[in-house]
């Protein structure tokens, strides 16, 4: 606070975007491209960009085949994927379209596998095909399955590098745009024709606000007097990685058949763009929104989650799955057992713990996890209230949607 109790008055901006993750940066980038005359600031509370979900994910460029055909998620994922690849090519960000396989290991998974295949075909995902046990072995010699789907257009990338490039372009090409880290937005003071955005360092006046605060988006919405109609519940995902010796057991990406009732894809094997192979993530309720350790705890975050009836309704519905995930989070043996479903030859000495990520899962008061992206408008603000996976893949398409909403709703000149 620079020694004073009131934050200093900083500059004026047309738009302040709250959150320097990939969704906030892609939104600012798209608005900058369409409205070069507009002055935008992106405010990020951490010392670096992409410090939370964007920098703690699997790094997979998703194809879009899992999602209900015609849904926002399906459309934006496919569109965003293509745009992301073009962006990576143009700006020389390393990526690889290595393809993936989804593998059924039990007869009871075959019906879900068929549904995913149908969804993919209806959504026009390029070149997907059903494969049998021999083809699974040809593609991934260490993997055992009874049937699968080959998805050639899936890829890998480092989303932090994408976020950093977006930030450079926003500052370089716009009309005095700024991307400011270490700026935590603490209050939004509404005035007739502007909002004073108060941060831990200085305050800014902005005509319009765009909330892309990820794990904190419901709290930022409340600062703006918007009742979000949902609450963010954090789910941590732990990853192991394969030792150098075991890395040869995975060539590309191997996924299980996900349970359609759950918003998570299941523990998978991912060859990353830096060359190692990660296995995970599981999905366990976290007692801290930005807590990456297994025992991390925040009283405020735990209270927010556990005092929410929606969370208890969800726990009640999925208690069996939740307990299983909890056990796997604390037992390496059980985690390994789950990995062995896809690669039976995997041994304890083949894996070592690596990183964790925390997902911002929006839950409705009735306990239903919100599946699709959720973007709300109110007053002079736009709030992104649910941007789960594949939002990193879809970020440029989500950014375009936000640009269109901002253009119409804020009446920005075309």
- Does residue 221 bind ligand FAD (CB under 6 A)? no
Sign of CA dihedral 11, 14, 16, 22: negative
Which of 39, 52, 231, 328 touches ligand FAD (CB under 6 A)? Answer: 52
**Binding span for ligand FAD by CB under 6 A among 4-12, 120-128, 342-350, 390-398:** 390-398
Residue 395 CB: number of other CB atoms within 10 A? Answer: 31
Nearest approach in angstroms of CB 223 to ligand FAD is 8
- Does residue 57 bind ligand FAD (CB under 6 A)? yes
Specify whether the CB–CB gap between 204 and 11 falls below 8 A: yes
Which of 13, 15, 21, 287 touches ligand FAD (CB under 6 A)? Answer: 21
- Does residue 216 bind ligand FAD (CB under 6 A)? yes
Nearest approach in angstroms of CB 162 to ligand FAD is 10
Q: Which is nearer to ligand FAD, 24 or 252 (CB)?
A: 24
**Contacts to ligand FAD from residues 313-372, by CB under 6 A:** 357-359
| Mode of pairing for the β-strands spanning 129-131 and 147-151 | antiparallel
Residue 211 CB: number of other CB atoms within 10 A? Answer: 29
- Helix ranges restricted to H, 91-236: 110-122, 133-139, 159-173, 217-223
Q: Would you call 108 helix, strand, or coil by DSSP?
A: helix
Q: Would you call 236 helix, strand, or coil by DSSP?
A: strand
Calpha distance 24→2 (Å, rounded): 27
Q: Would you call 16 helix, strand, or coil by DSSP?
A: strand
- Does residue 46 bind ligand FAD (CB under 6 A)? yes
**Contacts to ligand FAD from residues 280-309, by CB under 6 A:** 281
Nearest approach in angstroms of CB 60 to ligand FAD is 3
Sign of CA dihedral 161, 164, 168, 170: positive
Could you write out the DSSP letters of every residue in 319-385? HHHHHHHHHHHH-HHHHHHHHHTT-TT--GGGEEEEEEEEEEEEE-TTSPBP-S-EEEEETTEEEEE
Q: Which residue is nearest to ligand FAD (CB)?
A: 21
Q: Which is nearer to ligand FAD, 128 or 396 (CB)?
A: 396
- Does residue 277 bind ligand FAD (CB under 6 A)? no
- Does residue 7 bind ligand FAD (CB under 6 A)? no
**Binding span for ligand FAD by CB under 6 A among 38-46, 102-110, 247-255, 310-318:** 38-46
Which of 16, 23, 125, 267 touches ligand FAD (CB under 6 A)? Answer: 23
Chain-centroid distance of CA 21 in Å reads 9
Q: Which is nearer to ligand FAD, 23 or 147 (CB)?
A: 23
Which of 32, 40, 58, 123 touches ligand FAD (CB under 6 A)? Answer: 58
Nearest approach in angstroms of CB 308 to ligand FAD is 19
Number of residues that bind ligand FAD (CB under 6 A): 41
- Does residue 45 bind ligand FAD (CB under 6 A)? yes
Q: In this structure, what token pair is assigned to residue 172?
A: 């370089």
**Binding span for ligand FAD by CB under 6 A among 17-25, 29-37, 63-71, 404-412:** 17-25
Specify whether the CB–CB gap between 362 and 216 falls below 8 A: no
Residue 380 CB: number of other CB atoms within 10 A? Answer: 17
Specify whether the CB–CB gap between 253 and 268 falls below 8 A: yes
Which of 15, 17, 22, 305 touches ligand FAD (CB under 6 A)? Answer: 22
Measured in residues, the chain has a length of: 414
Site of tokens 């991390």: 296
Calpha distance 255→266 (Å, rounded): 7
Nearest approach in angstroms of CB 74 to ligand FAD is 13
Calpha distance 43→231 (Å, rounded): 22
Mask of contacts with ligand FAD, 171-210, x by CB under 6 A? -------------xx-------------------------
Which of 28, 267, 284, 391 touches ligand FAD (CB under 6 A)? Answer: 391
Residues at the site binding ligand FAD, with contacts judged by CB under 6 A: 18-24, 43-46, 51-54, 56-60, 62, 184-185, 212-216, 220, 237, 281, 357-359, 387-393
């Amino acid at each position: 606070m620079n020694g004073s109790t009131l934050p200093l008055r900083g500059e004026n901006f047309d738009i302040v975007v709250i959150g320097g993750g990939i969704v906030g940066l892609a939104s600012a980038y798209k608005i900058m491209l369409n409205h070069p005359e507009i002055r935008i600031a992106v405010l990020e509370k951490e010392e670096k960009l992409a410090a939370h979900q964007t920098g703690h994910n699997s790094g997979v460029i998703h194809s879009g085949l899992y999602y209900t055909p015609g849904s926002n998620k399906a459309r934006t994922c496919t569109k965003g994927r293509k745009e992301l690849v073009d962006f990576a090519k143009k700006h020389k960000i390393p990526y690889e379209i290595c393809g993936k396989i989804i593998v059924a290991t039990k007869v009871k998974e075959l019906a879900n596998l068929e549904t995913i295949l149908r969804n993919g075909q209806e959504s026009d995902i390029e070149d997907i095909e059903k494969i049998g046990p021999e083809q699974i072995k040809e593609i991934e010699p260490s993997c055992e399955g009874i049937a699968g789907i080959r998805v050639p257009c899936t890829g890998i990338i480092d989303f932090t590098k994408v976020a950093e490039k977006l930030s450079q372009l926003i500052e370089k090409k716009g009309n005095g745009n700024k991307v400011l880290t270490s700026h935590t937005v603490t209050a939004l003071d509404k005035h007739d024709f502007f909002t004073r955005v108060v941060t831990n360092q200085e305050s800014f006046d902005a005509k319009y606000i765009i909330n892309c605060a990820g794990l904190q988006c419901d709290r930022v919405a409340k600062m703006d007097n918007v009742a979000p109609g949902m609450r963010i519940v954090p789910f941590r995902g732990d990853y192991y990685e394969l030792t150098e010796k075991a890395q040869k057991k995975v060539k590309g990406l191997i996924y299980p058949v996900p349970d359609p009732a759950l918003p998570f894809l299941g523990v998978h094997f991912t060859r990353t763009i830096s060359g190692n192979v990660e296995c995970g993530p599981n999905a366990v309720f976290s007692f801290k929104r930005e807590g990456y350790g297994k025992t991390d705890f925040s009283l405020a975050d735990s209270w927010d989650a556990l005092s929410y009836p929606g969370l208890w309704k969800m726990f009640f519905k999925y208690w069996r799955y939740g307990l299983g995930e909890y056990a796997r989070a604390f037992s390496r043996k059980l985690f390994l057992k789950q990995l062995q479903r896809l690669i039976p030859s995997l041994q304890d000495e083949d894996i070592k713990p690596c990183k964790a990520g925390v997902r911002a899962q929006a839950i409705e008061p009735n306990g239903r996890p919100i599946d699709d992206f959720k973007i709300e408008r109110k007053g002079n603000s736009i709030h992104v209230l649910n941007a789960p996976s594949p939002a990193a893949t879809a970020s440029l398409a989500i950014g375009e949607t936000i640009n269109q909403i901002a253009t119409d709703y804020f009446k920005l000149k075309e």
